[in-house]
Amino acid sequence: MKADGAPATKTFSTLRAGTVVIGSSLAVAAFLWAFITADSTIAVVALLVLLAAFFFGLERYPQAEAVVVRSFAEARVTAAIVWLVIVLGFPFLFGQNTYFLHLLVMCLIYSVLAIALNFQLGSANIPNFATGATYGIGAYCSALLALEFGWSFWATLPFAALAATLFGFIIGLPSMRTRDAYLALVTIACGVIIHQLLNNFEWTGGPQGLIGIPAPTLFGYSFASPLPVFGYTLPFQANFYYLALALLALSIVVANRLHQSRIGLAWNALRADEIAARAVGINVVWYKVLAFAVDAFLAAFAGVVYAFYISYIAPDNFTFLVSVTLMTMVIVGGMDNVIGVILGAFLLTLLPEKLRAFSDYRLLFYGLVVIAFLMIRPQGLLPQRLRSYGA
């Protein structure tokens, strides 16, 4: 993402835009690769310092950011091709290392969840601490359908999403009567209730959860088998990488379409001033509940992919702390900025792994990092951008 610091001139050649796009995209990919594979603590710290320096520079020289943004706008086709190549080819960089691939899959799943949460937190400023629960409902629903009735992954997907969306509607309904801190409390309560019930019921497997969820198959090809591509074999995790990638792409498309639609505008209006929004005729309740439903829908998809990927789920996967982590991802990345949210998800998924050198102090450092971040940069790494219309 190292853009040259030249000011944006009026004569912005396509060639130059293309170079900036390719250069910055490759730099991002290289950084991600280096961060995932970094093993020694010195390398991790060096990379974090580099990242901090980058954001420091970005704030210092906003024109550099403008160049990159403008280049991407100019060279849309180049950007699309470059990113397609990067995301499709990324697993090949890790060879047979399943640990790195696994981290990547988890980053993608958390990105989807963070984008889901962003519809409420970022767009409409509705605090929702129950995304962990909708994620869990999606996972449990699909796992139960697969284990009890032998349904396939693809068949359970819509039903899990439906169930979670219904739940989203249910926890969204109180938003008619409550807001801000009180609404946050309702969602916390719902999250805790779902976690406790998953723990208590016999048919959800109790605290020990559900084991042996079968891997998805597609036209007789099992996702649990290694993936052959042009005579090169990728570990089975690559299947789920591409599956999660497709889901993330879907989420990004949905997020963008919604952001640009009347719904996105209505959400932003809600965020700015709820009473004013109501005054201009926006059906506040409907849009609030809709935000919960969209969140639940995408979170359930993520839950289904997770359940079939790990092949085992337990209530402990879906605790209140998961919801808080997702919240942190959105805040750290930058609310209502899809790229920022994805960045936040990647950073907060990888960071605990990179903190392993601290051993017993891992959780302590994680807590400290979150607090420090909220204090130093509460607007997030990539703050929300103004809407721009026309060319």
* Touching another protein, residues 215-234 (CB under 8 A): none
**CA neighbor of 203 nearest in space, from 267, 261, 147:** 147
Radius of gyration in angstroms for the set of CA atoms belonging to the chain, rounded to a whole number: 21
- Pick from 7, 281, 360, 386 the residue near another protein by CB under 8 A: 360
- Pick from 2, 19, 69, 199 the residue near another protein by CB under 8 A: 199
The answer to whether 49 contacts another protein (rule: CB under 8 A) is: yes
The answer to whether 263 contacts another protein (rule: CB under 8 A) is: no
The answer to whether 207 contacts another protein (rule: CB under 8 A) is: yes
The answer to whether 189 contacts another protein (rule: CB under 8 A) is: yes
Residue 104 and residue 91 in contact, taking contact as beta carbons nearer than 8 Å = yes
Please identify, using beta-carbon distances, which residue of 166 and 321 lies nearer to another protein.
321
Distance of closest approach, residue 323 Cβ to another protein, in angstroms: 10
The answer to whether 206 contacts another protein (rule: CB under 8 A) is: yes
DSSP states of 18-33: HHHHHHHHHHHHHHHH
Count CB atoms within 10 A of the CB of residue 207.
11
Distance of closest approach, residue 363 Cβ to another protein, in angstroms: 4
Binding to another protein, residues 323-352 (CB under 8 A):
324, 327-328, 331, 352
- Pick from 35, 90, 119, 129 the residue near another protein by CB under 8 A: 129
CA torsion angle 247 249 250 256 (round to 10): 140
The answer to whether 384 contacts another protein (rule: CB under 8 A) is: no
DSSP states of 34-55: HHHH--SHHHHHHHHHHHHHHH
What is the C-alpha to C-alpha distance for residues 300 and 277, in angstroms, rounded to an integer?
30
Please identify, using beta-carbon distances, which residue of 4 and 148 lies nearer to another protein.
148
The answer to whether 209 contacts another protein (rule: CB under 8 A) is: yes
The answer to whether 127 contacts another protein (rule: CB under 8 A) is: yes
The stretch near another protein (CB under 8 A) out of 256-264, 297-305, 320-328, 381-389 is 320-328
Residue 93 and residue 33 in contact, taking contact as beta carbons nearer than 8 Å = yes
For 51, the token pair is 């990242």
Question: Where do we find the tokens 């696994």?
Answer: 102
> What type of residue sits at position 359?
S
Please identify, using beta-carbon distances, which residue of 6 and 50 lies nearer to another protein.
50
